[in-house]
């Protein structure tokens, strides 16, 4: 197998390995700096546009979580992922009519922002005899065209979602607005962390605040310093995305 790899593929594998090690070290350093252990932080790779052979190479290096953000792309790659030691999650905007296609295939859906979507996830999970973990996506920057629930509606959505069958709320996710400064960016992360802590303290039924998923290629270290325990890194690991 290995000797058949093209030079191009070998170059990609090499840079993914270098990037993987660098990101893992940065995550570990940020974890320690924020008073936690490296293993407290979950490193999820955002794999959109990345071909399965490259994703599987990253998995062979120790990657344990991958996330796709389009249903069609996930399905087209699904049979090729090497998922024996790796969990596949859904991290993108999810249309209700597509839920049925991913239930049973993903270990967690990170982007739940409405009761309608949660209800469909519950319904399809019951139908398939599985339990689905979810995160509630928060629109922390109150951006008009962005997915996510607004802060003031979060508790209500959490409570109603938690009451549904075969769904387990495991935490919160956000994609903050694009900011001009690191300070401004950090404020959104910090605000999310406060929400996360407040909700943890409320001990709502069937809600466990296990994951605070925030931080991407440009800001995952800052996100960890602000309290994130799951980061979603794409281009920093796999290189710039080429949309075909």
Binding site for ligand PLP (CB under 6 A): 46, 48, 69, 91-92, 175, 216-217, 232-236
Beta carbon nearer to ligand PLP, 164 or 231 = 231
Beta carbon nearer to ligand PLP, 50 or 164 = 50
Enumerate the H helices of the chain as residue ranges: 7-33, 52-60, 71-77, 99-102, 115-128, 151-162, 182-202, 220-225, 235-238
Taking the chain, what is the end-to-end CA distance rounded to the nearest angstrom?
A: 26
Under DSSP, the state recorded for 243 is: -
What is the gyration radius of the CA atoms in the chain, in angstroms? 18
Beta carbon nearer to ligand PLP, 68 or 120 = 68
For the bound state, the minimum distance from the C-beta of residue 237 to ligand PLP, rounded and expressed in Å, comes to 8
Beta carbon nearer to ligand PLP, 19 or 161 = 19
Beta carbon nearer to ligand PLP, 61 or 216 = 216
For the bound state, the minimum distance from the C-beta of residue 27 to ligand PLP, rounded and expressed in Å, comes to 13
For the bound state, the minimum distance from the C-beta of residue 2 to ligand PLP, rounded and expressed in Å, comes to 28
Residue nearest to ligand PLP (CB): 234
Of the candidates 179, 202, 194, the one whose C-alpha atom is nearest the C-alpha of residue 228 is: 194
For the bound state, the minimum distance from the C-beta of residue 118 to ligand PLP, rounded and expressed in Å, comes to 18
Q: Give the list of residues 6+ apart from residue 244 with CB closer than 8 angstroms, or none.
A: 49
Which phi and psi (to 5°) does residue 143 adopt?
A: -85, 140
For the bound state, the minimum distance from the C-beta of residue 215 to ligand PLP, rounded and expressed in Å, comes to 8
């Amino acid at each position: 197998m290995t000797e058949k790899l093209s030079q191009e593929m070998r170059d990609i594998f090499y840079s993914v390995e270098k990037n993987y090690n660098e990101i893992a070290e940065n995550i570990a350093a940020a974890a320690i700096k924020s008073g936690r252990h490296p293993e407290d932080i979950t490193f999820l790779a955002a794999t959109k546009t990345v071909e399965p052979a490259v994703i599987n190479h990253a998995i062979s290096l120790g990657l344990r979580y991958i996330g796709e953000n389009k249903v069609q792309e996930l399905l087209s790659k699904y049979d090729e992922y090497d998922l024996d030691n790796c969990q596949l999650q859904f991290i993108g905007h999810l249309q209700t009519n597509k839920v049925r296609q991913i239930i049973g295939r993903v270990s967690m859906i990170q982007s739940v922002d409405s009761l309608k979507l949660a209800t469909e996830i519950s319904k399809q999970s019951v139908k398939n005899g599985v339990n689905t973990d979810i995160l509630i996506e928060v629109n922390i920057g109150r951006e008009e065209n962005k997915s996510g629930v607004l802060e003031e509606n979060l508790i209500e959505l959490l409570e109603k979602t938690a009451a549904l069958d075969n769904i387990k709320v495991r935490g919160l996710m956000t994609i903050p607005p694009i900011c001009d400064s690191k300070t401004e960016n950090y404020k959104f992360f910090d605000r999310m962390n406060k929400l996360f802590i407040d909700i943890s303290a409320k001990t709502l039924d069937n809600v466990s605040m296990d994951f605070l998923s925030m931080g991407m290629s440009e800001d995952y270290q800052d996100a960890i310093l602000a309290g994130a325990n799951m980061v979603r890194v794409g281009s920093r690991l796999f290189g710039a995305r080429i949309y075909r």
